[in-house]
A and B are shown apart, each in its own frame.
Chain A
Amino acid sequence: EDQVTQSPEALRLQEGESSSLNCSYTVSGLRGLFWYRQDPGKGPEFLFTLYSAGEEKEKERLKATLTKKESFLHITAPKPEDSATYLCAVQAIKAAGNKLTFGGGTRVLVKP
């Protein structure tokens, strides 16, 4: 069964203090790994898709990387508006349809 574990569960940062979030996964053939951002009471907002080990993608202060067993979301010089829950999800090659399996998320709080 596909599994996704995110760590830490929560992260408190000072504005400007860079950090990394971890997403470890077990999947029977990875078709894609997805990162989403979710604000309280709202739907997840798509950030990145990564397909193969060694791939990297960037968007503003966020950079996602992928290895064969985990993905990292690096937040560089974060601002208070980066406070959110970051969700990681995997899609397996053998999955029925396009089902996403999500991790529990990392709650990030950036203090000014």
Chain B
Amino acid sequence: DSGVTQTPKHLITATGQRVTLRCSPRSGDLSVYWYQQSLDQGLQFLIQYYNGEERAKGNILERFSAQQFPDLHSELNLSSLELGDSALYFCASSVEQVSNDDEQFFGPGTRLTVL
């Protein structure tokens, strides 16, 4: 158990809908990261937040957005869903923004299925 929690575990929805994925980082971790894992693309970085502020953006679609709240939990919002958005979405957390020994610890993931 990494200490990172994600809800829900599974999500099934229809095209065009909007969903929210939730992540609670390990106690004491200030950075939260979101990654998408699909069969054809592998594990891809989406976005990072540090202590409530956006720090880095990857290949995140404009239909996707995220935020980190004062209690450090984070939410990833996916809207106008398409079939191709079906994937595993992982949240990871780490202690600091930039430092050595700043390993990222991953949650169990949310499996999103868009029908």
Q: Which residues of A contact B (CB under 8 A)?
A: 32, 34, 36, 41-46, 49, 51, 87, 89, 95-105
Contacts and interface: CB of A to CB of B under 8 A. Distances in A.
Given A34-B103, A43-B2, A45-B2, A98 B97 contact: yes
Given A98-B33, A98-B102, A100-B104, A105 B42 contact: yes
B109 A42 contact: yes
A95 B56 contact: yes
B58 A99 contact: yes
A42 B105 CA distance: 12
Nearest to A49: B103
Contacts of B43: 44, 87, 89, 102
5 contacts: A36-B106, A89-B43, A97-B48, A98-B98, A105-B42
B108 interface: yes
B50 to A, nearest CB: 7
B45 A99 contact: yes
B18 interface: no
B62 interface: no
A42 B97 CA distance: 25
B90 to A, nearest CB: 5
B94 interface: yes
A43 B97 contact: no
Contacts of B2: 43, 45-46
A97 B55 contact: yes
B74 to A, nearest CB: 14
A101 B45 CA distance: 7
A82 B72 CA distance: 34
Contacts of B108: 42-43
